[in-house]
Amino acid sequence: MSNRVHIFDTTLRDGEQSPGAALNVDEKLEIARQLERLGVDIIEAGFPISSPGDFDAVQRIAKQVQNATVCGLTRAVRKDIDVAWDALKGAKRPRIHTGLGVSDNHLQHKLRKSRDEALEMGVSAVAYAKSLGCDDIEYFTEDAGRADPDYLCRVVEAVINAGATVINVPDTTGYATPEEYGAIFRMLLERVPNADKAIFSAHCHDDLGLAVANSLAAAKNGARQIECTINGIGERAGNTSLEEVVMALKTRRDYYGLETGINTREITRTSRLVSNRTGILVQPNKAIVGANAFAHSSGIHQDGVLKERTTYEIIDPADVGISESKIILSPRSGRAALKHRLEVLGHTFEDAAFEKVYERFLEVADRKKMVYDEDLEALATDEARLVNQTYELVQLQVTCGDSAIPTATVKLRHANRAVLMDADTGNGPVDAIYRAINRIVKVPNELIEISLQSVTEGTDAQAAVTIRVRAGDEVHSGHAAHTDIIVAAAKAYLNALNKQLLNQPGRITQPESERVGV
């Protein structure tokens, strides 16, 4: 058996199912291009029949991705398969991912079919996909972790005979333990007569915090594909974390004897991109990509690491794209120094965009005196947002206090260069700001979440604000960073509103004329 484990990334499908993580098509394309640089083998680009937006995203990713296989998810019905195959037409390496539940729980309560009926339906779906000309068909046996072993073996043998090339054995509910999950793969490889004609894949959820451990157990027992997401995002408690499972295989190759094709030096860059675009923050103590993953606060640890890095680090930070040294920039740093440090961190800008970053850098440096890598990441992320700005914050003034009515005055610039100003009061300064903005940007929405994170330590730290707004069935996230929390909150809200406006073409093309002329 080969020692090569294929990495199947489902950030754009299962990962996007995280509440509030909706991505627009351009953001999905940007992430797909970065996943190619990362070196994933398969990109599950979406569920084409679920919406026109998902179809468009899969279709555009299929046409642009050159090296990785592009996969579209379907139910085991012909209409789903037809739509997915249509979306994948432009792909160099297309894959249809179809399947059905195999546990009695799913058969009885979800599908309401007998074992034989579900088996026949699954075989028919695979055969139909093959008849369309698809040579790479993955079949998922949903809830395999709770399925009857004999029935699971029957299903796997039958769909391989029908043309399935990859068998996905998901622990859909995160119920299995590593010993149990590994044993399922061992059993299938031993008992299914035609098992050698397919690759077996692990797809785990983290409901019990065992997704990575279960995936590694599966690989140890013969799985040669692992399905995962960047930062472990996904349904409920999330999916197997790509960065964790890849670095576990690399760091402990002495134990697993397995390898992947991942360019691990792109891991941190990919993690930050996904976090910034989805608005889902990475917890500081998360393995591999957390802010504290390579930080040492204890004096004893610091002394040891300074003498010999491996005393407390089993992974070289450079292997995951993190520089060991930090250049601290100050107001006296010029453009060349800033540009060099941004490039080291993986950010490049055209001249005009760089000037905006430089102006923001000087503002931060004047307030903080010393600017850290985390500050630069926040600045770069703010300026590199994909969203075209229909409205831009020009000026903000807020008055508040324990005996004053919170009042905000905002001045915005529309994309047609018109400048608009309005004011309102609220329950607090942020509420007043958002009310004032709403008087200008008239798009109905509901603020459902706002979170604040300090980019660095200290009272002069930048504040990174992430918000989510709901407009009908859609949720849009906004993100901004600034040394002034109030300004960051205003910019984050505008970021979300600009995304909402992008999804409503023609909704607001001109501001109200009576509000122009400030």
Condensed to tens digits (0 to 9), the pLDDT of residues 431-456 reads 999 999 999 998 888 998 888 887 77
Residues comprising the chain, all counted: 518
% of the chain beyond a pLDDT of 90: 63
- Two tokens at 441? 């940007």
Within 8 A by CB and 6+ apart from 287, the residues are 241, 243, 244, 247, 293
57 in helix, strand or coil?
A: helix
Confidence of residue 298 (pLDDT cuts 50, 70, 90): very low
Query: What would the DSSP string read from start to end of 396-429?
Result: EEEEEETTEEEEEEEEEEETTS-EEEEEEE-SSH
Q: Is 6 annotated as a binding residue?
A: no
Residue 515 has pLDDT above 50, yes or no: no
- Two tokens at 38? 């990362």
The mean pLDDT value for 224-229 works out to: 98
What tens digit of pLDDT does each residue of 243-281 get?
Answer: 999 999 999 999 999 999 999 999 999 999 999 999 999
CB 304 within 8 A of CB 320: no
Q: How far apart are the first and last CA of the chain?
A: 71
Report pLDDT for 325: 41
Q: Whole-number mean pLDDT of the chain? A: 88
Residue 386 has pLDDT above 50, yes or no: no
The mean pLDDT value for 182-198 works out to: 98
Report pLDDT for 341: 73
Report pLDDT for 373: 73
The mean pLDDT value for 224-239 works out to: 96
**Of 50-59, 73-82, 290-299, where does mean pLDDT reach its minimum?**
290-299
Report pLDDT for 356: 83
Report pLDDT for 477: 84
The mean pLDDT value for 336-342 works out to: 76
> What CA–CA distance (Å, rounded) separates 511 from 509?
7
Residue 108 has pLDDT above 90, yes or no: yes
% of the chain beyond a pLDDT of 70: 89
Report pLDDT for 314: 84
Determine how β-strand 419-425 pairs with β-strand 404-414: antiparallel
Phi-psi region of 475 (alpha: psi -120 to 50; beta: other; left: phi over 0): beta
**Of 44-53, 222-231, 388-397, 454-463, where does mean pLDDT reach its minimum?**
454-463
Confidence of residue 132 (pLDDT cuts 50, 70, 90): very high
**Of 245-259, 364-378, 488-502, where does mean pLDDT reach its minimum?**
364-378
Confidence of residue 382 (pLDDT cuts 50, 70, 90): low
**Of 74-78, 195-199, 310-314, 489-493, where does mean pLDDT reach its minimum?**
310-314
Residue 377 has pLDDT above 90, yes or no: no
Report pLDDT for 411: 96
Q: Is 205 annotated as a binding residue?
A: yes
Confidence of residue 295 (pLDDT cuts 50, 70, 90): low
The mean pLDDT value for 268-296 works out to: 88
Torsion of CA 484, 489, 491, 496, to 10 degrees: 160
> What CA–CA distance (Å, rounded) separates 238 from 17?
9
What tens digit of pLDDT does each residue of 13-33 get?
Answer: 999 988 878 899 999 999 999
Q: Give the chain's radius of gyration (CA, Å).
A: 25
Residue 78 has pLDDT above 90, yes or no: yes
Q: Which of 6, 487, 68, 454 is nearest to 201 (CA)?
A: 6
47 in helix, strand or coil?
A: coil
Report pLDDT for 452: 85
Q: Is 14 annotated as a binding residue?
A: yes
Query: What would the DSSP string read from start to end of 236-253?
Result: TT-B-BHHHHHHHHHHTH
More confident residue, 73 or 473: 73
> What CA–CA distance (Å, rounded) separates 435 from 343?
39
Range 22-45 burial, b when 16+ CB lie within 10 A, else e: bbbbebbbbbbebbbebbbbbbbb
